[in-house]
Amino acid sequence: MMFLVRIVFLLHVVVFQVSVSYNISITGIEDLGEGDNATITCSLSGLLYEPSLTRFVLISTSGGNEAAKALISNTTLYTKTTIYNNVSKTYVSSIVSPPIPIVRQINGNGLLCMSIVNNTTINKVVGLIVNYAPNIGNLNLWGTNLALSEGRTGTWTCSVTHSNPASTLIWRNDTDTFMPSSPAVVTKASNSYETRQEWSFTYHRDLSFTNFTCIAVGYRNQTVSKTMQFGDIYYVPELVIRGKTFLEEGETLNLTCQVVAANPMANATWTGTASGVKEISNIQKKQDGEELTCEATNSAGSSRKTARITVHYGPYFSLASNELGREGTSVSIVATVSANPAPTRLNWKKAGNDTVLSTSRILLIENATKEDAGNYILEATRVRQRENNITEDITKNVSVHLEIRYGPAAARISPNITMLELDIGSSVPHIVCTADCFPTCDFKWTQHYRNTQRHRSGTANLDLGKASTEVIGDHTCEAYNYIGGQKYSATVTFQLRVKYAPTIQAVSINGLSNTPFNDSGVIRITAVIRAFPAPSAVTWGIKNDRFTNPFKPLTNDSRYYGNRTNDCSYDCESTEVLTLNPSSCTDTGNKYSVYAANEKGNSSVKTTLNRVTITCIPRRVYYSFTHFKCEGEELNMTASFVSVPGPFITWYQQPDNKNHVYYEDFRGNWNTLYYTSRYHVQFVTSQTFGTYMVVAENSRGVSNGRVLVQVNRKPNCTEGSTSTTSSTTDRSDASTLIYNGDIMTRIILYVVACTVVIQAKY
**Rounded distance, CA 682 to CA 111, Å?**
194
User: Of all helices (H) and strands (E), which one includes residue 8?
Assistant: helix 2-11
Q: Do residues 739 and 653 touch, judged by C-beta distance below 8 A?
A: no
Q: Are 691 and 709 in contact (CB under 8 A)?
A: yes
Going by the DSSP 8-state scheme, the letter that residue 585 receives in this structure is: G
Residue 392: its pLDDT value, please?
A: 87
List pLDDT tens digits, range 301-314.
899 999 999 999 98
* Model pLDDT, residue 385: 79
Cis peptide before 429 (omega within 30 of 0): no
In 3D space, the residue among 642, 541, 525, 648 whose CA is nearest the CA of residue 586 turns out to be 642
How far CA 395 is from CA of 2, 317, 368, 689, in Å, comes to 118, 12, 29, 141
Integer CA distances (angstroms), 253 to 72, 282, 488, in order: 94, 8, 59
> Residue 161: how many CB atoms within 10 A of its CB?
19
- Whether the per-residue pLDDT at 750 is higher than 50: the answer is no
> pLDDT digit string (tens) for 55-94?
999 988 777 778 888 888 898 999 999 999 998 899 999 9
Say if CB 485 and CB 519 are below 8 A apart: no
pLDDT tens for each residue of 641-684: 999 999 999 999 999 989 999 999 999 999 889 999 999 999 99
- Residue 373 has a pLDDT of 92
- The predicted pLDDT at position 719 comes to 52
Give the C-alpha separation, 523 to 579, whole Å.
Answer: 6
Q: Tell me what pLDDT residue 61 has.
A: 72
Q: Over 60: is that where the pLDDT of 734 sits?
A: no
Domains and their CATH numbers in the chain: 2-131 (2.60.40.10), 136-229 (2.60.40.10), 235-308 (2.60.40.10), 314-405 (2.60.40.10), 411-495 (2.60.40.10), 499-614 (2.60.40.10), 615-747 (2.60.40.10)
Beta-strand (E) ranges in 73-204?
Answer: 79-85, 90-96, 100-101, 110-117, 120-127, 130-131, 139-143, 153-163, 168-172, 177-178, 185-189, 192-202
Tell the burial category of 114 from Cβ atoms under 10 Å away from its Cβ (0-12, 13-18, 19+): buried
Instruction: Please give the pLDDT value at position 17.
Output: 33
Residue 361 phi/psi, 5-degree rounding, is -75, -5
The C-alpha atoms of residue 395 and residue 389 are separated, in whole angstroms, by: 19
Provide the whole-model pTM. 0.48
DSSP β-ladder status, 734-739 and 701-702: unpaired
| The pLDDT of residue 479 | 96
pLDDT score for 147: 67
Are 721 and 683 in contact by the 8 Å Cβ rule? The answer is no
- The 3-state secondary structure of 267-311 reads CCEECCCCCCEEEECCCCHHHCCCEEEEEEEECCEEEEEEEECEE
| Predicted confidence band of residue 742 (pLDDT cuts 50, 70, 90) | very low
Dihedral angle of Cα 63, 67, 69, 70, to the nearest 10 degrees: 130
Average pLDDT rounded to a whole number, residues 454-469:
94
Is residue 372 classed as helix, strand or coil in its secondary structure?
A: helix
Helix (H, G, I), strand (E, B) or coil at 626: strand
Q: Assign 730 a pLDDT band (cuts: 50, 70, 90).
A: very low
Average pLDDT, rounded, for the chain: 86
Give the number of other CB atoms < 10 A from CB of residue 690: 15
5: pLDDT strictly greater than 50:
no
Q: What is the DSSP letter of 583?
A: -
Exposed e or buried b per residue across 539-555, where buried means at least 16 C-beta atoms within 10 angstroms of its C-beta: bbbbbbeeeeeeebebe
User: What whole-number distance in Å separates Cα of residue 478 and Cα of residue 441?
Assistant: 9
Q: What is the pLDDT of residues 221-253, one digit of tens each?
A: 999 999 999 888 999 999 999 988 888 889 899
* Chain segment 354-366, per-residue pLDDT in tens: 999 999 999 999 9
Specify the pLDDT at position 548: 78
Average of pLDDT values for 146-160? 87
582 cis-preceded (ω within 30 degrees of 0): yes
- pLDDT per residue as tens digits for the range 112-126: 999 999 999 999 999
pLDDT at 557: 87
Of 495, 493, 464, residue with least CA distance to 479: 493
**105 pLDDT higher than 70:** yes
Give the pLDDT mean for 483-499: 93
Mean pLDDT of 574-594: 93
The neighbour count for residue 493, using CB atoms within 10 Å, is: 16
AA identity, residue 262: A
Instruction: Give the amino acid at 186.
Output: V
Residues 567-574 have a mean pLDDT of 88
DSSP one-letter string for 426-449: SBPPPEEEEE--BSPPEEEEEEEE
Task: Give the residue, 761 or 201, on which the prediction is more confident.
Answer: 201
Give how far the C-alpha of residue 731 lies from the chain's centroid of Cα atoms, to the nearest Å.
110
Q: Name the helix (H) or strand (E) containing 325.
A: strand 322-326
CA distance 50 to 566: 173
Q: Which of 443, 437, 441, 480 is nearest to 459 (CA)?
A: 443
Q: Give the pairing type, strands 660-665 and 648-653.
A: antiparallel
Measuring CA to CA, which residue among 203, 145, 215 is closest to residue 178? 215
SS (H, E, C) 450-507: CCEEEEEECCCEECCCECCHHHCEEEEEEEEEEECCEEEEEEEEEEEEEEEEEEEEEE
Q: Which residues contact 3 (CB under 8 A, 6 or more apart)?
A: 73
393 CB contacts (<8 Å, ≥6 apart)?
344, 381, 382, 383, 384
How large a percentage of the chain has pLDDT more than 70?
91
Angle at 201 between CA 198 and CA 207, to 5 degrees: 120
Alpha-carbon distance of 23 to 149, in angstroms, equals 71
Q: Which residues of 225-237 are buried (b: 16+ CB within 10 A; e: fewer)?
A: bbeeebeebbbbb
Q: Fill in the DSSP letter of residue 362.
A: E
